[in-house]
């Protein structure tokens, strides 16, 4: 049964205002599936959330970025999540590139498009959340006909195409989304993930590096970069990227398994065991727990066998 996820933001600075602040609901793979604006009381709500693991993601100028995990189950209590924001006055959303122009805020862009296009986009998001990619694709295509430069519609259409196996169409939509908003890492993250799925790691490295340049604190960008570097056997660089990913998102459990693969190739068996043990300790309900335990036992036997 679908649940409602609700919460409220608590600002250390009591003078902070809630208007125009956007909250994202992300799946465990760190991909946003829904967004909502805070109400006057700094509250937010996501309805019709299927059971599973999610992150509540908030990124506001002047505050530390927040990515808080929640688990939604059949017995999930409909209780509010209280999220505290810690001031970080030195933090600004400037691109660390050549011209250092401000990053475009997608939540502001939505207001610039025709209402009909935005309504179609919102309906498509609802359909995607329910697993209805067919109707979502049609609605997003209609939205783009009305507003050809609708950034979020292009990016979401790319995700819908990817989910239905239309990888070439998805690639084109992510590229268009990036061309419209060159200051967001999100379409680049989606594009690098697509190249990984297509087993084109060199292209994934290039795009992931661009995504990290756009947002050096993007865990999905760092994770994809680490995977891509691993696939092209640039193992030291892969280790660096994945470690940075863990610094940004310490609860992103799959990073430990990715690091374990890196250490296996580097024959750093102590480091490998550390990552496997950490994964097992912090993810007790993981579906691949039995497989990870088997690998850990094999590594421990191998270490004992050759005296390491």
- Give the whole-number percent of the chain exceeding pLDDT 70: 80
Query: What pLDDT band is residue 105 in, cutting at 50, 70 and 90?
Result: very low
Query: What pLDDT band is residue 268 in, cutting at 50, 70 and 90?
Result: very high
77 pLDDT above the threshold of 60: no
Structure confidence at residue 61 (pLDDT)? 67
Span 129-138, average pLDDT: 93
Structure confidence at residue 154 (pLDDT)? 94
Alpha-carbon torsion 125, 127, 132, 135, what sign? Answer: negative
Span 268-277, average pLDDT: 92
Structure confidence at residue 74 (pLDDT)? 58
Q: What's the CATH class of domain 106-255?
A: mainly alpha
Beta carbons of 116 and 146 less than 8 angstroms apart:
yes
Domain ranges (residues) in the chain: 3-85, 106-255, 256-308
Secondary structure of 293-305 in the HEC alphabet? Answer: HHHHHHHHHHHHH
Each residue of 135-163: pLDDT tens digit? 999 999 999 999 998 989 999 999 999 99
Residue located via tokens 């863990």:
246
Each residue of 200-253: pLDDT tens digit? 999 999 999 999 998 888 899 999 999 999 999 999 999 999 999 999 888 888
Structure confidence at residue 102 (pLDDT)? 37
Query: Mean pLDDT for the chain?
Result: 82
d(CA 123, CA 201): 34
Q: Which residues contact 247 (CB under 8 A, 6 or more apart)?
A: none
Residue located via tokens 């056997």:
233
Residue located via tokens 């421990």:
300
CATH fit for domain 3-85, picks 2.30.30.100, 3.70.10.10, 2.60.40.10, 3.40.50.300:
2.60.40.10
């Amino acid at each position: 049964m679908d649940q409602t996820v609700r919460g409220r933001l608590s600002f250390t600075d009591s003078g902070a205002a809630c208007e125009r602040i956007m909250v994202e609901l992300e799946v465990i793979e760190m991909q946003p599936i829904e967004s909502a604006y805070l109400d006057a009381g700094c509250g937010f709500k996501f309805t019709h959330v299927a059971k599973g693991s999610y992150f509540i993601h908030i990124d506001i100028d002047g505050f530390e970025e927040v990515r808080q995990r929640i688990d939604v189950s059949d017995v999930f209590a409909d209780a509010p999540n209280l999220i505290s924001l810690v001031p970080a006055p030195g933090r600004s959303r400037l691109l660390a590139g050549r011209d250092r122009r401000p990053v475009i805020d997608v939540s502001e862009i939505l207001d610039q498009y025709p209402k009909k296009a935005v309504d179609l986009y919102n309906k498509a998001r609802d359909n995607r959340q329910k697993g209805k990619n067919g109707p979502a694709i049609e609605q997003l295509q209609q939205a783009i006909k009305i507003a050809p430069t609708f950034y979020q519609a292009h990016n979401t259409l790319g995700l819908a195409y990817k989910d239905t196996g239309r990888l070439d169409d998805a690639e084109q939509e992510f590229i268009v989304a990036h061309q419209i908003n060159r200051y967001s890492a999100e379409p680049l993250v989606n594009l690098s993930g697509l190249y990984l799925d297509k087993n084109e790691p060199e292209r994934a490295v290039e795009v992931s590096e661009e995504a990290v340049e756009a947002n050096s604190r993007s865990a999905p960008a760092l994770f994809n970069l680490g995977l891509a570097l691993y696939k092209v056997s640039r193992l030291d660089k892969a280790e660096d990227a994945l470690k940075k990913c863990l610094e940004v998102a310490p609860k992103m459990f799959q990073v430990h398994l990715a690091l374990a693969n890196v250490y296996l190739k580097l024959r750093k068996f102590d480091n490998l065991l550390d990552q496997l043990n950490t994964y097992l300790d912090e993810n007790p309900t993981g579906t691949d727990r039995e497989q990870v335990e088997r690998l850990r036992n094999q590594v421990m036997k191998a270490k004992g066998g050759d005296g390491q």
